[in-house]
């Protein structure tokens, strides 16, 4: 089975702190994604990566950055956390040829971040 593991299920941080959210997948997938999930807003794409060291902005990249140094690992970084970044963060991966997304996304269980 494909496994996408997010290192932290629950985090509480203070405003201004730097936050790292880690995601690891074990199926040699090319594409990896970071979404945030908020009630009534669904899932919104923050960043995605289709290859090592490659990254693309999603729909809401402001206040976030990402790192993909190894194929299996995709990190989301909040340089200076703010209260409006309190949310559920979901990592996903997929195996696709090229850049078109036509197949299944495999999701981690999510990281619930609270910024005080």
Partner 1 sequence: GEDVEQSLFLSVREGDSSVINCTYTDSSSTYLYWYKQEPGAGLQLLTYIFSNMDMKQDQRLTVLLNKKDKHLSLRIADTQTGDSAIYFCAVAGFQKLVFGTGTRLLVSP
Question: Which residues of the chain form contacts with partner 1 (CB under 8 A)?
Answer: 4, 33, 35, 40-45, 48, 50, 56, 58-59, 90, 92, 99-105, 107-110
Q: Which is closer to partner 1, CB of 60 or CB of 77?
A: 60
Smallest distance from the beta carbon of 109 to partner 1, in angstroms? 5
Smallest distance from the beta carbon of 45 to partner 1, in angstroms? 6
Tokens of 30: 């090319």
Q: Which is closer to partner 1, CB of 77 or CB of 88?
A: 88
**Cα 37 to Cα 42: distance, rounded to the nearest angstrom:** 6
CA 50, 54, 60, 66 dihedral sign is positive
Tokens of 60: 């809401």
**Cα 59 to Cα 45: distance, rounded to the nearest angstrom:** 5
Q: Which is closer to partner 1, CB of 17 or CB of 44?
A: 44
């Amino acid at each position: 089975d494909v496994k996408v593991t997010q290192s932290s299920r629950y985090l509480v941080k203070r405003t201004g702190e730097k936050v790292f959210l880690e995601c690891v997948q074990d199926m040699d997938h090319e594409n990896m994604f970071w979404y945030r999930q908020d009630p009534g807003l669904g899932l919104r794409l923050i960043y995605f990566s289709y290859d090592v060291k490659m990254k693309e902005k999603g729909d809401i990249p402001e206040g976030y950055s990402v790192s993909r140094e190894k194929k299996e690992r995709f990190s989301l970084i909040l340089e200076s956390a703010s209260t409006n970044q309190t949310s559920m963060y979901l990592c996903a991966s997929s195996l696709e040829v090229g850049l078109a997304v036509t197949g299944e996304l495999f999701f981690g269980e999510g990281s619930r971040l609270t910024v005080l």
